[in-house]
Structure 1
Amino acid sequence: MAVLWLLLLVGLSIFLLGVFIWAVVKHFLTAEISSSLQHPVKLRLMQCVVLFTIALGNILQKLRICSMPSFIKFLHDLRGRKKDPTLVVTNMHFGTIPVRLFQPKAVSSNLRRGIIFFHGGGALFGSLNLYHRLCSFLARETDSVLLSVGYRKLPDHHHPVIHLDCLNASIHFLKNLQTYGVDPSRVVMAGESVGGWAVATVTQALACQDKLPQIRAQVLITPILQGVNFQLPSQLQKRNVPLLTRDLMITFFCRYLNIDLSWKNAILTGACVPPDMWKKYSKWLSSDNIPQRFKGKDFSPEFLGPFNETAYLETKHVLDEKISPLLADDKIIAQLPDTFLLSCEHDILRDDTLLYKKRLEDQGVPVTWHHVEDGFHGCIIFFDNQFFSFPCSMNALNPTISYIKGI
């Protein structure tokens, strides 16, 4: 029996080593690490670990042991929740939506600022636990009451579930601000990555609501804001930069919108966009709106692929403003609250932020923009990770905190 267990252990070790070697080889064949990124070796190792864990999750899913997202969530939860003695943390449900409330313990003579936070993760990963430390830090450093929303995700839930969960949780919170000791005139909505997208769509949906407290400010951290133009400079320049590559991004995008992956190329080349639609929306989505310094010397204006009507019929819902908030009408954009936008130079989604910045400013919305020159997508989540920590994490987090404290 001991020999059998030893053979199993050796076999498992060889198998895991083989998967990791595959991840390393794939990384070095595809990844592009800019010389301006700090700690490139650390970033390469992180990307290898990500590829390794996704590969293991896919293997377990094919063996019908567990789904890949469940495996990733299990690993995330192993990190544990760091308890902050200055906060009271409460797990609740708003209907069927799990939420986590962070409240400062210190007594305050005045009502506190409120933050509604939507986490990132590409609609597939991310959880209340993974973003627990970030939410604790935001609540403590800004002396705010923070509500973190655990919206439903893939693989079981598709669009518009994230939008609806975030919208419904926000409405419930706004209707009960007094219960949580929150000042109705100082509610901030914040989110990272797909959470930033949720902020944009929910804030737009609430803009016309006159029976609820108005959102004072929105904070969008490296958000995805449109699914129409994937020929922007950052989409081409940063397509193989960890941690969000173009292939991973479009896979998340298609899965959440329930689009067959066979249409990926049509989406990326713009072949699914009718010429008349592009003519209508190009004033907002064209690379002409991107400052020259971000385009690089070799960039030429986008040329959308030959129109494919079948692809359009399969993907036309990407033109909905609930999926592409950059396409909202001017009258909606003009009603949006003060906005903080954070972009990272080494992020495939960088230009979505730049396009939204121009749209907001053109409609007179006050915008504060911070650009992290050495940042990459998702860097803010590693602000307190001992080994996988990067200077850009705090370079992204500090201005975010400063802005919120000014509300």
Structure 2
Amino acid sequence: MGAKLLCFCLAAALLAYYIYAPIPEDIEEPWKVMFISASFRAVSDLAAVADWLGLMHYMEGLMLITSAEYVPPTSDENVTVTDTEFSNVAVRLYLPRKPSDGLRRAVVFFHGGGWCLGQAGMRSYDHLTRWTSNMLNAVVVSVNYRLAPQYHFPAQFEDVYSVTKFFLQRSVLSQYGVDPDRVCVAGDSAGGNLAAAVAQQLLEDSEVETKLKAQALLYPALQTLDLNLPSYQENANKPILSRSLVVAFWSEYFTSDPSLREAMASNRHIPLESSHLFQFVNWSNLLPEELKKGRVYTSPVYGSPELAQKYPGFLDARAAPLLVSDAQLRGLPLTYVLTCEHDVLRDDGFMYARRLRAAGVPVTHDHARDAFHGAVTFVLSPTELAVGHRLRNRYIEWLNENL
């Protein structure tokens, strides 16, 4: 009996140790956030074990979350939902059923998941895009772009760009009753990265006559140069998205070669020949003082040029939208940026918002001091959070006022 009790106590202690993680004091519902974080961590650890055993790729293990969350296209009294293709790329299309006084607004949405995970049919994304269509009485196109490790950059960008360019054709907009002056691209995390890159590329594309009205970037990943920003240091082990997972996502976006991940993990992946790009992500000039928290900017440590020669994608502005010049930012549409205090990617959003404003782009930057990465999608049971509802509603409110 004593031995059984001892084993039970040890097992309980190990479980408690695994589940427990310090949660910032200003985060609401800390115990719920702790369990959500532990669940994500458990799946990540199991995927890592499966990868080590040679059973499956690490990202394929994480894709179990995507598979478990899948819901089929289901119409309701407000919105007609169908899975179809635009320009040979799979999309989930949401068409409002409510009558409209005139042409409708439209949102082209790109899901997050580090370019490796996620899909338009995930329960959380299906809810967000359905809600967007219903609340705005808008057409929503949610894109199922190709994912790593099966496909690397630029496949993901090419898919979302192809869909957006196809949808912006006057004949297609007319087919769905969309006002060509009221179209927005939006996305969260890696999807925010893709939305920013698409908006930039459209400015350079003479074949596209329709101009975007807006872009909405929810805690976007925007640069590959400095993976040791203050937010990377401060939030390395905060809920949902750790620094190590961001590095894994970034490196896998470009290649499955572990040498790039190792170089990115030590922040020694940028060659000296590309040193001129650091001006675009120099946080000492682009972050407010309260985010620096006494940290002093140090010059980057340069890496071997071989990685950049083999995998040039991580120096491509289509993958890292912060790397374009100030002149290339001018002309971008109305912009919404959401950042979260307890997020590894926080500083990317801050730097982009500042650079956009300096270039004359109208920007609304909402910073949630009590939130973490991915918060917008936590609005459904059993992972429903009050902060998720608040941030989602604010995002919809901005779209309603500006689109």
Scaled by the length of structure 2, what TM-score is found?
A: 0.88
Q: Secondary structure at the match of 1:207?
A: helix
Deviations 1:115-163 (A, max 9, x none): 1000111112211111101101111111211111111112211111110
Aligned residue for 1:399?
A: 394
Separation in structure 1 between the aligned mates of residue 311 and residue 19 of structure 2, nearest angstrom: 30
Aligned residue for 2:92?
A: 100
Going from structure 1 to structure 2, the CA distance change for 1:35 and 1:81 (only over 3 Å counts) comes to farther
Report how far residue 355 of structure 1 moved.
Answer: 0.8
Report how far residue 313 of structure 1 moved.
Answer: 4.0
Which amino acid counterpart does residue 97 of structure 1 have in structure 2? V
User: Is the CA contact (8 Å cut-off) linking 1:339 and 1:366 kept in structure 2?
Assistant: yes
Q: Secondary structure at the match of 2:341?
A: strand
User: Is the CA contact (8 Å cut-off) linking 1:112 and 1:181 kept in structure 2?
Assistant: yes
Runs of 5+ unmatched residues, structure 2: 1-10
Separation in structure 1 between the aligned mates of residue 311 and residue 301 of structure 2, nearest angstrom: 15
Going from structure 1 to structure 2, the CA distance change for 1:65 and 1:267 (only over 3 Å counts) comes to closer
Equivalent in 109, 116, 127 of residue 108 of structure 2: 116
Q: Secondary structure at the match of 1:120?
A: coil
Please give the residue correspondences for 1:94-173 in structure 2 after superposition, counting only pairs within 5 Å. 94-130=86-122, 131-173=125-167
Deviations 1:195-215 (A, max 9, x none): 000001111111133443111
Report how far residue 318 of structure 1 moved.
Answer: 1.5
Deviates further, 259-268 or 85-94: 259-268
Aligned residue for 1:9?
A: none
* 2:380 pairs with 1:390: no
Please give the residue correspondences for 1:5-404 in structure 2 after superposition, counting only pairs within 5 Å. 25=17, 28=20, 31-57=21-47, 62=53, 64=55, 67-77=60-70, 84-130=76-122, 131-175=125-169, 176-210=172-206, 211-258=208-255, 260-275=257-272, 277-278=274-275, 280-288=276-284, 289-297=286-294, 299-305=295-301, 307-314=303-310, 316-383=312-379, 385-404=380-399
Runs of 5+ unmatched residues, structure 1: 1-17
Name the % identity.
29
Report how far residue 342 of structure 1 moved.
Answer: 0.7
Separation in structure 2 between the aligned mates of residue 22 and residue 154 of structure 1, nearest angstrom: 34
Separation in structure 2 between the aligned mates of residue 24 and residue 311 of structure 1, nearest angstrom: 42
Going from structure 1 to structure 2, the CA distance change for 1:90 and 1:50 (only over 3 Å counts) comes to same
Aligned residue for 2:8?
A: none
Deviations 1:168-204 (A, max 9, x none): 0111111110111100000011100000000011111
User: Is the CA contact (8 Å cut-off) linking 1:54 and 1:72 kept in structure 2?
Assistant: no
User: Is the CA contact (8 Å cut-off) linking 1:24 and 1:48 kept in structure 2?
Assistant: no
Q: Secondary structure at the match of 1:254?
A: helix
Going from structure 1 to structure 2, the CA distance change for 1:303 and 1:98 (only over 3 Å counts) comes to same
User: Is the CA contact (8 Å cut-off) linking 1:23 and 1:51 kept in structure 2?
Assistant: no
Separation in structure 2 between the aligned mates of residue 395 and residue 82 of structure 1, nearest angstrom: 25
Q: Secondary structure at the match of 2:168?
A: helix
Which amino acid counterpart does residue 195 of structure 1 have in structure 2? G
Separation in structure 1 between the aligned mates of residue 15 and residue 109 of structure 2, nearest angstrom: 33
**Cα-Cα RMSD:** 2.5
User: Is the CA contact (8 Å cut-off) linking 2:146 and 2:156 kept in structure 1?
Assistant: yes
Report how far residue 259 of structure 1 moved.
Answer: 5.3
Separation in structure 2 between the aligned mates of residue 351 and residue 196 of structure 1, nearest angstrom: 14
Going from structure 1 to structure 2, the CA distance change for 1:209 and 1:24 (only over 3 Å counts) comes to farther
Deviations 1:87-132 (A, max 9, x none): 1112111243111111110121300001100011111221111110
Report how far residue 268 of structure 1 moved.
Answer: 4.1
Separation in structure 2 between the aligned mates of residue 23 and residue 281 of structure 1, nearest angstrom: 45
Going from structure 1 to structure 2, the CA distance change for 1:224 and 1:65 (only over 3 Å counts) comes to closer
Going from structure 1 to structure 2, the CA distance change for 1:248 and 1:70 (only over 3 Å counts) comes to closer
User: Is the CA contact (8 Å cut-off) linking 1:229 and 1:268 kept in structure 2?
Assistant: no
User: Is the CA contact (8 Å cut-off) linking 1:134 and 1:381 kept in structure 2?
Assistant: yes
Report how many residues are paired. 383
Separation in structure 2 between the aligned mates of residue 80 and residue 272 of structure 1, nearest angstrom: 41
User: Is the CA contact (8 Å cut-off) linking 2:283 and 2:297 kept in structure 1?
Assistant: yes
